Amino acid sequence: MKPTAQNNVVYDKPPLKAGNKRIINTKGVFRDNSLLTLSSICLGLMLLNRIISRKKFELPKKPRPYTCSINGVTVSWLGHASILINFFGKVILIDPVLESRLGVTLPGNLNIGPKRYLAPALTVNELGPVDLLLMSHGHVDHFDYPTLRKLQSINTTAITAKNTCFLWDGLVYQDVREIWWGEALNIDGITIKAIQGRHRAARLPWLTDMTANSYLISYGGVNIFFAGDTGYTPIIREQLRGIPVDILIVGIANYLPTSLQKDHCSPEQAWQIAKEIGAARIIPMHWGTFKLSEEPMEEPLPRFLHAAGSERGRIIIPIIERE
């Protein structure tokens, strides 16, 4: 069995008007700090066993975002940086990479490259219709041709980073729109704003004009911030000043050797971003799925929880079982 990834943050009630407190409930989440620690240790041991034995793991339950009310929000981590959001009835998919491998795509829509340790929480066939597809940048672990070809739909709008539109040539979507830092689009009442992070985004070494976006997704007073791939930078805090972030989705791995921290946060740097923007809930991503750097696969999550200290109850992590 493979591991599958599910983190759900559920808004059981619509957001209240300005000046009132939002009500945020979490389901399927350990609230007790000792359980959070135990969960992270068990996860680390299972990932270590995966490296040694080549066995794969799955989460016991699959996300069910389509069962959510049009008056609510569900966020599901599908593995690595792939996020599925039901945002008041609109289905948003971010950086979908749902194949067994990533890397160079060969004829026949197959990849040659690293094999995943953690199975996706949902396959493409299980996703259902997608209203809005957000792509942060063009690296192969975020922009996966086999997945995107399977997702093609004339009913799906895609938003992509500046100077990446050419990657979509030959793909059939309703619309593909580039967005630059500081720009915002309104799609059916949902505001998508591109936020600047710190990440070199060239898919090939000579394509240095390609950029990477973080995204602020807003509707009805609810704000979700997808940090995407970024090294630590105070620029994020400045761009989000005065905006109450209900859910932060932030990468916590691919930080060793330390030179990689120009483009990816260490767990401690990721927590620093969470503190600086005052996120109510945090979903760690970009960990446990592909071996792309030198740190042990089991290391990022325990370090992230340790960095959070007494505030680790704000972090939402998956419960993983193995048969």
Nearest to 105 by CA among 134, 141, 78: 141
* pLDDT the model gives residue 8: 52
- The mean pLDDT value of the chain amounts to 81
**Percent of the chain with pLDDT strictly greater than 90:** 61
Residue 283's pLDDT band, with cuts at 50, 70 and 90, is very high
The predicted model gives 269-275 an average pLDDT of 98
- Are 214 and 226 contacting, i.e. CB atoms less than 8 angstroms apart? yes
Domains of the chain: 9-311 (3.60.15.10)
Helices (H), 136-261: 145-151, 234-239
- Are 271 and 262 contacting, i.e. CB atoms less than 8 angstroms apart? no
Span 55-74, pLDDT tens digits: 444 544 677 756 666 778 98
Span 246-260, pLDDT tens digits: 999 999 999 999 999
- Dihedral sign (CA 244, 129, 79, 62): positive
**How far is residue 304's CA from residue 271's CA, in Å, rounded to a whole number?**
7
Q: Does the structure show a pLDDT above 90 at 213?
A: yes
The predicted model gives 271-293 an average pLDDT of 96
* Amino acid sitting at position 225: F
Please indicate whether residue 134 or residue 57 has the higher confidence score (pLDDT).
Answer: 134
* pLDDT the model gives residue 47: 43
* pLDDT the model gives residue 291: 93
Q: Does the structure show a pLDDT above 50 at 88?
A: yes
- 159 forms beta bridges with 134, 177
Q: Does the structure show a pLDDT above 60 at 54?
A: no
**How far is residue 243's CA from residue 300's CA, in Å, rounded to a whole number?**
28
Span 101-130, pLDDT tens digits: 887 777 667 777 789 888 899 999 999 899
Span 6-17, pLDDT tens digits: 555 544 333 333
* pLDDT the model gives residue 113: 78
- Are 75 and 8 contacting, i.e. CB atoms less than 8 angstroms apart? yes
* pLDDT the model gives residue 65: 58
Q: Does the structure show a pLDDT above 60 at 50?
A: no
Helices (H) and strands (E) in the chain, counts: 6, 16
* pLDDT the model gives residue 207: 74
Q: Does the structure show a pLDDT above 60 at 202?
A: yes
Residue 210's pLDDT band, with cuts at 50, 70 and 90, is confident
